[in-house]
A = this chain, B = another copy of it.
């Protein structure tokens, strides 16, 4: 297999090899964007496994590495036109910081799974690296890639529901339930292990998405939280459930509810934002619908592909109304915007969540854990 010259951007993965769901999602999203070609990376902690995966994917072994350091030196040794430019970091949480910080220093663009680090110090250290850089850095808050979430944000900005009065966000899943009650399976899930997941399971994995959705859609910054979390089972050390009351800088109240023991729930991320003039509601259970509740008029259901949508929402779907697109397509929208940034094209700053959103997420997780540790007192986000 000889090298090809492509105007597509070469993409590498850290993690995301064959058995990884998240790897499949990122690979397909990058393809969907039409802007990237997956060239190689460190798919697995074991080099042999990475090579095997590369073979399946028909990748040039010259792009396959045993670790991040090797990838950096190997790629920098190549002519610029043949180099991996964007690296997607898809490992368990605890490995994000080391990989990302080295890759950033070496000049690579980054897509990083959330949470971007396991401590606030690490997150701020990444922010400092980014402060003087114009590299692309995106956090995989995939839900912000849905057209109707983007429309929600735009309608709030446009004042459609007036001043915000109350925010209620939920992320309920049930899949941890069966694991939690089965000691053997509990040992096999990295998200329940502090060494790999960091200090939080539920808020690190899903609560942080709900937090991001609140700040992304409203443009408000959460200033303080009062949170209770629960490990539920004595044999388990990380949170699998919890609620965080919050106040924003301008005094708007709200709450974020997260659970991984909500048996029977599939992936129920929902948000409701109540304003002076109306409300907007979105749920991942039907991501193509945005519900608008005006104070004094019939409810409306907005859907993708219509001329009545704002610009970014319009650009975020491909097919005519009634032809559903899904989670891969939403993440594809984020990859597309990252490509716009990398290639110096204009892009909407709302089109991918960046380092600030990454740090905010860690700051939120940190505050939630502190509040819970302090007997559910109000604490400020650092």
| Residues on A facing B (Cβ under 8 Å) | 1-8, 21, 24-25, 28, 31-32, 58, 161, 165-166, 168, 172-175, 177-178, 181, 226, 228, 230, 232, 241, 243, 245, 253, 255, 257, 259, 261-268, 272, 274-279, 284-287, 292-303, 305-308, 318-329, 375-378
Contacts and interface: CB of A to CB of B under 8 A. Distances in A.
B267 A243 contact: no
A122 to B, nearest CB: 28
A267 B322 CA distance: 5
B279 A264 contact: yes
Contacts of A265: 274, 279, 293, 322
A297 B301 contact: no
B328 A267 contact: no
A308 B284 CA distance: 22
Query: In the complex, which of the residues A166, A275, A305 has the most CB atoms of chain B within 10 Å of its own CB atom?
Result: A166
| Copies of chain A in the complex | 4
A245 to B, nearest CB: 6
Contact of A263 (B8, B173, B232, B277): B277
Given A177-B165, A253-B228, A319-B327, A298 B293 contact: no
Given A166-B262, A228-B245, A295-B263, A58 B322 contact: no
Nearest to A170: B168
B322 A284 contact: yes
Contact of A298 (B4, B172, B230, B301): B301
A1 B4 contact: yes
Contact of A295 (B177, B245, B277, B292): B177
9 closest A-B pairs by beta carbon, nearest first, are A264-B293, A266-B322, A267-B322, A326-B326, A298-B300, A266-B321, A324-B326, A264-B279, A325-B326
A181 B296 CA distance: 14
Contacts of A177: 165, 274, 276, 295
